[in-house]
Structure 1
């Protein structure tokens, strides 16, 4: 198409470099850290004297209806000190969440998963309670997951990456591109258990291959949207898949798998086709495997720093 056939918006979009698009993506997934976010208005979520999250103002108002579970004082939301054990805290919070779900108070609870995530100040700390996955954004508690970059070395020495397309029936980001395997870290489940389980369920990868995955990094970011606050940390693994092995659709969460050269993967990650946090996992892969060079990539330092933002 000639320039005469392009609108001003199209021309402006085409002029945006890959680097600028990648930086925009990174900033979007760290928008809770940026000026104008709701962070200053959110209340720290405290459990036994430790901050474990951020509660948006509209959620604070609703939690005030349950004083036997949540105490609102000095600009904080504190779980009642009378709830002393993991079991007591988990049960009390679960009762409140079921009530809010029945009242259809928050849209995120329509995606109820019956899957629990554990809540703790840091990953190395003992969990203080567990909470329904779909509700974690109401409290801004950190969610953890496992993401696997599957790749294959070609006979000519080049590297191709396995990319998954999410099923159209997925409750979040249906039809978008994803890492070969990814899954949330459920309560009382280890990282390795999650890795092996998700490999088997999503891509029919046998345990003997899955356990060859190497832990290589974490990717951390915090974003907010109209559902709540999402501090997330993904444990990143690289898995070199043997030539000739093809991931197969397992539990129906994946529509299709593609084996793409890295140039094609790189271009795709800055498009609206890629699930945003999975694009960051690929960006981390590009940095670690020297597909980006600090002498030629103007935002190299910002990429590295932005992939490891944590509250």
Structure 2
């Protein structure tokens, strides 16, 4: 069975975008209809029919960051970059690579630059052998996917943070989970998303983790980003995935968990295998 979220994770049409380059490296995708808004900065962008290039005179991280900051601030004031987060993301095509520039998190989708996130599946195993998952519902005030179902913990990885420290931080903020418990999480799969979204392009690498939670643990949100938590049977989780109740990212992270634990058949996740490999464009 083909699930809508699996198809959505690679719903991307390169012909509707132009590549965004720093030097000779493509670092993002910009929607074709957004390109015109960048031509007012000829000292920052070199624009032609084939690409948007950061001006070669901006030849170090500090210069690129300063130039992009002014652009991003203006675009945000014009409403072209919504959901300002006051978080710094690095422009880099590999999580371990040196940054080429730093930008506001919200701008990463306008420029289609690579981002990184961690997702945690909260597993509870009862004596009857029937596993359950803690599921979060995103706050209705979230700028992205308000009110949709999500993993018990999920968050973007900002500059200066590694994967597991981000996981520990998000575990407290989103679920009130102490660091001692959060540090028992174990890594699962790594998935790659490239999809067109209202804000632009989501190019994201998802690091999936699992954690076995005590039967008496109940998540308690601390930062207002989660509307509620619910403890759900696997069959209910599978049904919500099929009905499209989860975010695309959470769908993939949850399916990764269900497949690894053999709580769902591979036939129910047709197409997911391709998402463990970065898209080739």
Q: CA deviation at 1:29?
A: 2.2
Q: Deviations over 1:242-282 (max 9, x none)?
A: 22111112111112111111111111112232222211111
Aligned 1:17-36 pairs, distance under 5 A: 19-20=1-2, 22=3, 24-32=4-12
Which residue is 1:61 aligned to? 36
Which residue is 1:86 aligned to? 61
Runs of 4 or more off by more than 4 Å in structure 1?
none
Structure 1 position 114 matched with structure 2 position 94: no
Asked whether the 8 Å contact 2:120–2:208 carries over to 1, the reply is yes
- In structure 1, runs of 5+ residues without a counterpart are 1-18
Which residue is 1:10 aligned to? none
- In structure 2, runs of 5+ residues without a counterpart are none
Q: CA deviation at 1:299?
A: 5.3
Match of 1:31, SS state, is coil
Q: Which has the larger radius of gyration?
A: 1
Indicate which of 8, 19, 24 corresponds to 1:44.
19
Match of 1:45, SS state, is strand
Which residue is 1:196 aligned to? 168
Aligned 1:157-306 pairs, distance under 5 A: 157-294=129-266, 297=267, 300=270, 302-306=271-275
Identify which of structures 1 and 2 has the higher relative contact order when contacts are C-alpha pairs closer than 8 Å and 6+ apart.
2
Indicate which of 19, 25, 45 corresponds to 1:70.
45
Q: CA deviation at 1:224?
A: 0.6
Deviates more, 1:222-231 or 1:192-201: 222-231
The number of aligned residues is 280
Indicate which of 70, 76, 81 corresponds to 1:101.
76
**In 2, distance between residues paired with 1:97 and 1:251?**
26
Q: Deviations over 1:96-149 (max 9, x none)?
A: 111122233x1xx23111112111122231111111111112211111111000
Q: TM-score, normalised by structure 1?
A: 0.85
CA RMSD of aligned residues (A): 1.7
Q: TM-score, normalised by structure 2?
A: 0.93
